[in-house]
Amino acid sequence: MKASRRLVLALALLSVAVVSCVSDVQNQTKSNRGKLAPIQPNKTSELALSMRNLDAELVLALEVLNSGKGVESLTITDHDFLELNPTDSSMLVDGFQSLSMAFSAHVKAFNDRPGTDTYSAVVGGCISCHQRACPGPLERIEKRQWAVIEGK
Ligand code: HEC
């Protein structure tokens, strides 16, 4: 009885840790059934960490773009995704390299000329890669689109 419960818990934790490309919503539904699944900082891959940082940069950029103040000093970090370890090598799908390079070009264009157009191209780059490599976070990335804020 006790052992089987422990097994269930272990499996539940494992499924959260391994499948970081499932949607946030799915993760939430799972964890709402019991206690919140613990965040596992040690299990976060370099690639996943860079993604979280990028996501935070987008949140900040949106705020600044929306306020219209300090837009010219905005920057987005130009990570070299090819140098970062993923959670699982299956995430490095065919075309990952060219998607990374395209994304990097959008980031450089934004850093040269921060604004809503270049920002939208960056978010477009996030979406292009995620449609191929890791669809889970797409729902969250959609919320980072300038158009979403603009239409509020
Ligand atoms: C070239 C492909 C590519 C691009 C471009 C890309 N991503 Fe990702 N993203 C991935 C992959 C692959 C993972 C899974 C990483 C892992 O688990 O190791 C991921 C994971 C994530 C995650 C989940 C991280 C976690 O905590 O597990 C978020 C959120 C995310 N990306 C947001 C973004 C945002 C926002 C952008 C644009 C600023 C972006 N991504 C651009 C491929 C990409």
What is the full DSSP assignment across 77-106? ----GGGS--SSGGGS-TTHHHHHHHHHHH
Pairwise CA distance, residues 76 & 33, whole Å: 37
Instruction: Take atom 28 of ligand 1 and give the residue whose Cα is closest.
Output: 51
pTM tops 0.75, yes or no: yes
| Ligand 1 centroid from CA 134, angstroms | 7
* Non-local CB neighbours of 133 within 8 Å, separated by 6+ positions: 21, 91, 92, 93, 96, 99
Model confidence over 86-125: pLDDT tens digits? 998 888 888 999 999 999 999 999 999 999 999 999 999 9
Average pLDDT over residues 72-95: 93
DSSP letter string, 64-81: HHHHTSSGGG-------G
Please state, in angstroms and as integers, the Cα–Cα distance from residue 48 to each residue in 1, 21, 44, 151, following that order. 36, 10, 6, 30
Tell me how far apart the alpha carbons of residues 59 and 89 are, in angstroms, rounded to a whole number.
28
pLDDT at 109: 98
Q: How far is the CA of 48 from the centre of ligand 1 (A)?
A: 6
Looking at ligand 1, which atom is closest to the CA of residue 88? Answer: 18
Q: Where are the domains of the chain?
A: 2-33, 44-150
Which of 4-13, 41-50, 80-89 has the weakest average pLDDT?
Answer: 4-13
What is d(CA 103, CA 46) in angstroms, rounded to the nearest whole number? 18
Q: Give the SS3 label for residue 141.
A: helix
Decide: 118 in ligand 1 pocket, CB within 6 A: no
